[in-house]
Amino acid sequence: MKKLLSVIAVLGACAVLTSALTACGGKKAESKSDGGTQSSVTDVTKGEETTAAPEDDGLSDYDWMKFKMPEGFEEFGESDSYTTIQETENSKHKMKFFRRTKSADTDMDAIVDEEVSKDTDRYSKGETFQMGNYTWVTENFTFNSNDSRKFYTQLDDTHYAYITVFEMTEADDAVKTVLESFTADPSKI
Q: What is the tens place of the pLDDT at every residue in 112-162?
A: 999 999 999 999 999 999 999 999 999 999 999 999 999 999 999 999 999
Domain with CATH 3.40.1000.10 in the chain: 60-188
Distance from C-alpha of 140 to C-alpha of 148, rounded to nearest angstrom: 6
Q: Of 30-34, 56-60, 97-101, 136-140, where does mean pLDDT reach its minimum?
A: 30-34
* Residues written for the chain: 189
Write down the architecture of domain 60-188 according to CATH. Answer: 3-Layer(aba) Sandwich (3.40)
Q: Are 85 and 76 in contact (CB under 8 A)?
A: yes
Distance from C-alpha of 87 to C-alpha of 90, rounded to nearest angstrom: 5
What is the average pLDDT score of the chain? Answer: 78
Instruction: Please tell me the predicted confidence (pLDDT) of residue 80.
Output: 73
Does residue 1 carry a pLDDT above 80? no
Strands (E), 73-133: 73-78, 82-87, 94-101, 123-131
Distance from C-alpha of 116 to C-alpha of 124, rounded to nearest angstrom: 6
Over residues 88-95, mean pLDDT: 94
Instruction: Please tell me the predicted confidence (pLDDT) of residue 17.
Output: 38
Instruction: Please tell me the predicted confidence (pLDDT) of residue 78.
Output: 80
Identify any residues that bridge with 158 across adjacent strands, giving them in sequence order: none
